[in-house]
Amino acid sequence: MTRRGLLLGAVAGTSGFGISAPGVVLPDVADALGVGDDATAWVLAAFVLGVGVAMTLGGRALDLFGSYRVSAAGVIATLLGTVLVFVAPDLTMVSVGRFVQGVGSGWLCITAFNAVSYVDVDERARVSGILTAVSFTCIAISPLIGAVVEAIAGWRAALSCGLFILLPVPAMLRGLPPERRAPGSLDLRGAAFATAGAALVAAVLQAPATGTPAWIAVLLAVAAVGALTALARHLARRPDGFLPLAVLRNRELMELSFTAATLQAAYTGLIFAAPMLLAREAGWSALQTGVALAPCALVAATSAHLAGTVGARLGAPVVFVACCSASAAGVLVAGLGGSLPAAVIAGSVLTIAPYAGVQAVMLGKVSTLVAPEDIGVATGTFTYVFITGGAVGAAAAGGLSSVVGLSAAVAILVVLPLAGLAMVLRVRAREDAAPLARA
Say if residue 439's pLDDT is above 60.
no
pLDDT for residue 308: 66
The rounded distance, in Å, linking the Cα atoms of 319 and 307 is 6
Average of per-residue pLDDT across 278-300: 79
Is residue 151 left, alpha or beta, with left meaning phi > 0 and alpha meaning psi from -120 to 50? Answer: alpha
Measured distance CA(345)–CA(270) in Å, rounded: 10
Any residues with CB less than 8 A from the CB of 288 and at least 6 apart, and which? 147, 278
Inform me whether the pLDDT recorded for 435 exceeds 60: no
pLDDT the model gives residue 325: 92
Is the pLDDT at 162 greater than 80? The verdict is yes
**Residue 144 — very low, low, confident or very high, per pLDDT cuts 50/70/90?**
confident
Q: How confident is the model at residue 436 (pLDDT cuts 50, 70, 90)?
A: very low
* Segment holding 17, helix H or strand E: helix 17-20
Residue 401 banded pLDDT, cuts 50, 70, 90: confident
pLDDT digits (tens, 9 = 90+) for 71-122: 899 999 999 999 999 999 999 899 999 999 999 998 898 888 777 766 666 6
Instruction: Say if CB 65 and CB 118 are below 8 A apart.
Output: no
In the 3-class helix/strand/coil scheme, how is 377-404 assigned residue by residue? HHHHHHHHHHHHHHHHHHHHHHHHHHHH
Region 290-312 average pLDDT: 73
Give the closest residue to 162 by CA, choosing from 202, 115, 107, 224.
107
Question: Residue 75 has what pLDDT?
Answer: 94
Q: CA 146: distance to chain centroid?
A: 17
Model pLDDT, residue 331: 93
Q: What pLDDT is attached to residue 174?
A: 81
pTM: 0.81
Please check whether the domain covering 2-169+186-438 is classified as CATH 3.40.640.10: no
Percentage of residues in the chain having pLDDT higher than 90: 16
125 contacts 68 by C-beta, under 8 angstroms: no
Average pLDDT value for residue range 226-245:
82
Q: What Rg value do the Cα atoms of the chain yield, rounded?
A: 20
Separation CA 357–CA 264 (nearest Å): 11
What's the whole-number mean pLDDT along residues 318-340?
Answer: 89
pLDDT at 224 over 80: yes
pLDDT on residue 182: 59
For the chain, the domains span 2-169+186-438
